[in-house]
Amino acid sequence: MRFGTIGAGAVAQAIARHLVSAGHEVTLSNSRGPDTLLDVVAGLGPSARAGTVEEAAAADVVFLAVPWPLVGDALAGLSSWDGRILVDTTNSGFAPPAVEDLGVRTSSEYVARLAPGARVVKAFNTLYAQYIAAEPRHAEGRQLLFYAGDDTTAKTAFHEVFDGIGFAAVDAGGLREGGLLMQVGSVLSALHALKLDGDRS
């Protein structure tokens, strides 16, 4: 399975580092071009590379990790998703465009609308970047990682990758109901908690 990131900042690098450590290939991209990411990918390891947004978006699993106001720019021109998985890590917060003005209830529904054919999974937005970057396995248990989406197969693939990396991945439901729980200010937002060892729930 190949991975790509649209955006190469704090969140994308934290996710990419875990994936590279687990032996996966990751292509990182930004708006300024691959040449601006050579130091970043060199620091991540040999299976990380810099690419264009189009190259990153051609991966099997693509992480959208740009500031909310730039989501439209970042996805523009990527017309053919063909069922590839798009993991939306963004937080709309109070920055424009406001979701209620876009005719949707959650920001990830808006992202799905901008990426026709993509199987969208919302994840990582509830954790501060330093918690994403940290080793998810602790002496007491594993870092909870909530995700939401409407495609069961995509969610299973996401779950298996990040459970394998050491997160305690938890399905929060569909893109609408899970997204509402995961958005800024809601119950799962910034919930930095561990699933304790021995907890089978």
Ligand X SMILES: NC(=O)c1ccc[n+]([C@@H]2O[C@H](COP(=O)([O-])OP(=O)(O)OC[C@H]3O[C@@H](n4cnc5c(N)ncnc54)[C@H](OP(=O)(O)O)[C@@H]3O)[C@@H](O)[C@H]2O)c1
Applying CB under 6 A, the residues found at the interface with ligand X are 6-12, 29-32, 53, 65-68, 70, 73-74, 89-91, 124-125, 127-129
Q: How far is the CB of 123 from ligand X (least distance, A)?
A: 10
Q: Smallest gap, in angstroms, from Cβ of residue 198 to ligand X?
A: 29
Measured CA to CA, the distance from residue 176 to residue 108 in angstroms comes to 8
CA distance 41 to 37: 6
Q: Which is nearer to ligand X, 32 or 200 (CB)?
A: 32
- Spatial distance between the Cα atoms of 192 and 22, rounded to a whole number of angstroms: 23
Residue type, 18: H
In terms of CB distance, is 8 or 200 closer to ligand X? 8
Report which DSSP code applies to 147: E
Q: Which is nearer to ligand X, 70 or 157 (CB)?
A: 70
Q: Which residue has the tokens 């992202």?
A: 111
Q: Which is nearer to ligand X, 70 or 170 (CB)?
A: 70
Q: How far is the CB of 143 from ligand X (least distance, A)?
A: 13
User: Tokens representing 171?
Assistant: 């399905």
The angle that helices 152-165 and 10-21 make with each other, rounded to 10 degrees, is 70
C-beta nearest to ligand X: residue:
9
Q: What is the DSSP letter of 51?
A: -
Could you tell me the smallest distance in angstroms from the CB atom of residue 40 to ligand X?
Answer: 9
